[in-house]
Amino acid sequence: MIATPSLQPTAYYEQSTFDSELVEVFENNWIFAGFVEQLANDNDFITLTIGKTPVVVQNFKGQLSALLNVCSHRRAQLQTGPQGNRSMRCPYHCWSYKQDGALAGVPQNNTDFGLTQEDKRALSLRRFELELCGNFIFVRVCKNKPTLRAFLGPYFPILQELSTSFCDSVGKGSYEWHTNWKIACETVLEVYHVASVHPETFAKFAKAECEIQFFNGHSTGNTPLQDAPKKWWQGARKHLKIEQNQNYTEYNHFFIYPNLAIGLTNGTLMSLQTYEPIDATRSRLNFDLKMVPRVDGKETSEAVKSAIMANFNEFNHTILEEDRLIAESCQKNMLSVNTPGLLGKCEDRILHFQNAWKRDVSQNTNQINEDN
């Protein structure tokens, strides 16, 4: 047999596995948090949950810092909403914090708290590792692990280039899927399903062949485009006065373990997706669509952008819905079986993803055994 077993069905719904992967997979690895341009101004912030940890990434007078998004006083959430602009001051009783997480201000400290400098230091917010790859922001909750450059390996220069080349934001959104986050990731890691699940969409867009490359749990899948979408994008580029990125002219897809996927269409459009766990059987798929900028440095009018993007957004939405339906059916059926499914050679990117996941999760199990 050429095929290899997939993960045990329990890996997709068991609470204990989910609890363990939140820490061992999400808190131990570099996680994509957002784009530098979202934090261009003083006090701009973005929030996200990494594993079990609420995180805020904020611009403090030009310096970016990733801090625990939980007040040390009585644990209110410091910044709310996915992004905004607001100083780092708790909305409950106005305790405020500095860039390194240090407690800066406590109303009525002298009369009611009597916190010394040392007491205040002990109440600092936890600060997390933050590194940039071009304009992409990555955060890691756990300390003392490889640098972002070492973690990404050959993908570091690739992502660095993509982050600066595809920088004109044209749309974003999110969907909730009733699947474990791993099933959601697995839907983008093979083209084996394209002819049957996407006969009217992706199958007409790209060919059912894929050249793949790996580095640890990360991988690349390059799929040649059909002629019709190439022509369509050529026309769109002329209209929008933008130039193709010559390094990626087909459908070039990158997966950065554990939960970032980047699809490039004809060197023109980037769809960046993250798969966020909500609970053991639900996940949120977030996507950002970005295009190469205009060559003349001018802004493309919103009307022109929307006309072009309406077409692509509808296409994107249909494909994602096709994937969601089939992924949710797999998720539901995991409860009825007790043996792993199979991965063919054409599903090798899934195998690499799962192997990286198994390494992370079993390190934890070994650690628990050693501790006992």
Residue 93 contact among Fe ion, ligand FES, none, beta carbon within 5 to 8 Å by kind: ligand FES
Nearer to ligand FES, 94 or 368 (CB): 94
Residue 102 contact among ligand FES, Fe ion, none, beta carbon within 5 to 8 Å by kind: none
Q: Which residues contact 86 (CB under 8 A, 6 or more apart)?
A: 43, 45, 79
Q: Is 88 in the site for ligand FES (CB under 6 A)?
A: no
331: how many CB neighbours lie within 10 A of its CB? 22
Nearer to ligand FES, 76 or 330 (CB): 76
| Residues 62-81, mask of contacts with ligand FES (x by CB under 6 A) | ---------x-xx-x-----
Q: Is 44 in the site for Fe ion (CB under 5 A)?
A: no
Shortest distance (Å) from residue 83 CB to ligand FES: 21
Q: Which member of 12, 60, 95, 155 binds ligand FES (CB under 6 A)?
A: 95
Q: Is 93 in the site for ligand FES (CB under 6 A)?
A: yes
Nearer to ligand FES, 72 or 179 (CB): 72
Residues 302-341 that bind Fe ion (CB under 5 A): 323
Residues 90-109 that bind Fe ion (CB under 5 A): none
Nearer to ligand FES, 94 or 132 (CB): 94
CB 189 within 8 A of CB 219: yes
Nearer to Fe ion, 20 or 226 (CB): 226
Give the span between the Cα atoms of 202 and 316, in whole angstroms.
9
Q: Which member of 19, 52, 62, 92 binds ligand FES (CB under 6 A)?
A: 92
Give the span between the Cα atoms of 174 and 184, in whole angstroms.
13
Angle (CA) 327 329 332, round 5°: 110
Nearer to ligand FES, 125 or 291 (CB): 125
User: Would you state the structure tokens that stand for residue 292, as one six-digit string?
Assistant: 């190469």
Q: Is 119 in the site for ligand FES (CB under 6 A)?
A: no
**What angle do helix axes 302-333 and 227-240 make, rounded to 10 degrees?**
140
Q: Which residues contact 195 (CB under 8 A, 6 or more apart)?
A: 203, 208
Nearer to Fe ion, 165 or 316 (CB): 316
Query: CA dihedral defined by 139, 221, 223, 239, rounded to 10 degrees?
Result: 20
Shortest distance (Å) from residue 268 CB to Fe ion: 20
Give the span between the Cα atoms of 60 and 45, in whole angstroms.
9
- Cα 167 to chain center, whole Å? 16
Q: Is 90 in the site for ligand FES (CB under 6 A)?
A: yes
Shortest distance (Å) from residue 306 CB to ligand FES: 41
Nearer to ligand FES, 87 or 147 (CB): 87
User: Exposed/middle/buried for 11, CB within 10 Å: 0-12, 13-18, 19+?
Assistant: buried
Burial 225-253 (b: 16+ CB within 10 A, else e): beeebbebbeebbeebebeebeebbbbbb
Q: Is 186 in the site for Fe ion (CB under 5 A)?
A: no
Give the span between the Cα atoms of 291 and 274, in whole angstroms.
18
DSSP calls for 161-185: HHHHHS-EEEEEEEEEESS-HHHHH
Binding window for ligand FES (CB under 6 A); candidates: 54-62, 87-95, 280-288, 345-353? 87-95
Residue 356 contact among ligand FES, Fe ion, none, beta carbon within 5 to 8 Å by kind: none
Shortest distance (Å) from residue 74 CB to ligand FES: 4
Shortest distance (Å) from residue 322 CB to Fe ion: 6
User: Exposed/middle/buried for 46, CB within 10 Å: 0-12, 13-18, 19+?
Assistant: buried
Residue 323 contact among Fe ion, ligand FES, none, beta carbon within 5 to 8 Å by kind: Fe ion
Give the span between the Cα atoms of 197 and 199, in whole angstroms.
6
Residues that bind Fe ion (CB under 5 A): 323
Residues that bind ligand FES (CB under 6 A): 71, 73-74, 76, 90, 92-93, 95
